[in-house]
Chains A and B, each alone.
Chain A
């Protein structure tokens, strides 16, 4: 499985978990999108640091080749999925732990 597939699967898994399994349905709420778009520029900043210094490198054969701020476009999908799943899981466990 190449990175493009992993990234698409990551988004798929996060969306399915959010909407149907954890049922936090963060995707339908403005606060999630506000959070995401605030984090996004910071992701681009760290991506730029990690790729422009060649700290992390990618197999050319495993990515589409489209890059944003030095990093493969797949990174944006991967990052989106992680942010969604984090907040979705947080809300899921919050209810189960009965926390405010």
Chain B
């Protein structure tokens, strides 16, 4: 199970995401196109930085604690999933807080 150590982070955030989505009735499934566009930008930018840093040896991963599926032979698949699931959780948090506070509406009024 040691090779799931990184995956635990992703699973933890995924559980939070599902909880927030249903708890706040955010209907994220209806916003997948918007999320796909948003995350494509994040994936492009952050995977380039990540790949660069890993190539330079700025950071590296314990091969025993990851699944071992590598993108371009260098980036653990967990890193790619991280840049999908973290932005998803970020958006869900943002949507939940907007709903909770009503602060998002002020912007629409001022436009």
Q: Do B42 and A31 touch across chains, with their CB atoms under 8 A apart?
A: no
Is chain B's interface secondary structure helix, strand, loop, or mixed overall? helix
- Chain A proximity mask over B80-110: 1 for CB below 8 Å, otherwise 0: 0001001101110110011001011001000
17 extra interchain contacts, Cβ-Cβ under 8 A, other than A13-B45, A85-B42, A85-B45? Answer: A29-B107, A31-B97, A31-B103, A31-B104, A35-B90, A38-B97, A54-B65, A55-B6, A55-B61, A55-B66, A56-B59, A56-B60, A56-B61, A59-B59, A82-B46, A82-B83, A97-B33
* Least CB distance, B70 to chain A, in whole angstroms: 15
A87 at the interface (CB under 8 A from B): yes
Closest 8 pairs (CB-CB, A-B): A62-B58, A31-B103, A86-B87, A93-B37, A89-B38, A55-B65, A86-B90, A3-B58
Q: Which residues of B are in contact with A by a Cβ distance under 8 Å?
A: 5-6, 8-9, 12-13, 16, 31, 33-35, 37-39, 41-42, 45-46, 49, 52-53, 56-62, 65-66, 83, 86-87, 89-91, 93-94, 97-98, 101, 103-104, 107
A-B contact count (CB 8 A): 114
Q: In the complex, what residues of B have CB within 8 A of residue A86's CB?
A: 38-39, 42, 87, 90-91
Q: How many residues of A are in contact with the other chain, CB < 8 A?
A: 38
Complex Cα–Cα for A55 and B104 (A): 38
Q: Which residues of A are in contact with B by a Cβ distance under 8 Å?
A: 1-3, 6, 10, 13, 29-32, 34-35, 38-39, 42, 46, 49-50, 53-59, 62-63, 82-83, 85-87, 89-90, 93-94, 97, 99
| B53 in complex: contacting residue of A6, A57, A94, CB < 8 Å | A6
Q: Do B91 and A50 touch across chains, with their CB atoms under 8 A apart?
A: no
Q: Do A1 and B56 touch across chains, with their CB atoms under 8 A apart?
A: yes
